[in-house]
Structure 1
Amino acid sequence: MASEDIKQSLKLFIVLSRAHKAINESTNQFFQKNGVNPTEFAVLELLYHKGRQPLQQIGNKILLASGSITYVVDKLEKRGYLTRVSCPNDRRVTYAEITEEGTIFMDELFPQHEQHLHELLSSLSVDDKDVAIELLKKLGLSIKDLSY
């Protein structure tokens, strides 16, 4: 009985991994077609929805190493999608802020991204999605509590 349970855990891992890979590959192709990579999109999406962010905190919010943030921000700044703004109260802090050009770009791209994700997940009903969200949250939270 226990070995069947273990096999089912392995099967679940494989199914989750394959689904994640399929979704990522499709969204990465979507981003490439629109002239950004997934990390650039994540930075723009953060600034688009949350507003000005300290450069030092962007990496944690989009799960990226801080060394890569400077490179990504430089590329987006060169394209005119964001700008760096110094903090008037603390010279150690620099903010990234989306520009008007970046906002126009995201006004067009983000709804397309939402629609693309909706199409990718269209084989699931609304109820299926609710169940999946609940189960995956439960799984993620339980793993956070484990210490290895």
Structure 2
Amino acid sequence: MNTKNALKLFVVLNRTCATLVNADQENIRHYGLSRSAFSVLELLYHKGPQTVQDIGKKILLTSGSMTYVVNKLVERGFVQRDICESDRRVTYVGLTPLGTDFMDGIFPEHEQHIVKMFSALSDAQIVTLTETLKQLSASIK
């Protein structure tokens, strides 16, 4: 592997990630949410109720941050906590009807925002890039 090419790729990936994150944050802020809060809502919207621990693992939040974000979403009426009947130590978080309605209203627009961010790429390029980035991620772990 050419060291110069690897360094250039590292810089380009970092800049691209920052650009994507900034554009995504700006779009999400438009809905009155933090990126973490939106990530929790999006996960629950697509995957259904999850344990607090699983949410944290899937969206890469610490337990302290997770508690804060879930508390804020509970205050807004978007999510609710439910204690597991078979194991009272486990708490599930799920969308409320208000949370589902909220996501029904904003997710199509958010989806279009994401499509627009990648509009310079063909479907084939997106598939190739996705597979390449998965391979890179797996090799780093």
TM-score class, shorter: over 0.9
Q: Structure 2 CA distance, aligned partners of 1:65 and 1:117?
A: 26
Aligned position for 1:8: 5
Structure 2 length normalisation: TM-score?
A: 0.96
- The aligned length equals 141
Task: Report the Cα distance in structure 2 between the residues aligned to 1:126 and 1:57, rounded to whole angstroms.
Answer: 31
Alignment of 1:1-148 (within 5 A): 5-144=2-141
Runs of 5+ in structure 1 lacking a partner?
Answer: none
User: What is the identity, as a one-letter code, of the residue corresponding to 1:101?
Assistant: L
Max Rg structure: 1
3-state DSSP of counterpart to 1:46: helix
Distance, in Å, in 1 between the alignment partners of 2:42 and 2:123 is: 25
CA distance in structure 1 between the partners assigned to 2:97 and 2:74 by the alignment: 12
Distance 1:134 1:50 in 2: 23
Alpha-carbon distance in 2 for matches of 1:134, 1:93: 35
TM-score, structure 1 length as denominator? 0.91
RMSD: 1.1
**Mapped partners of 1:130, 1:94: distance in 2:** 37
Q: CA deviation at 1:67?
A: 1.2
Q: CA deviation at 1:89?
A: 1.4
Structure 2 runs not aligned, ≥5 long: none
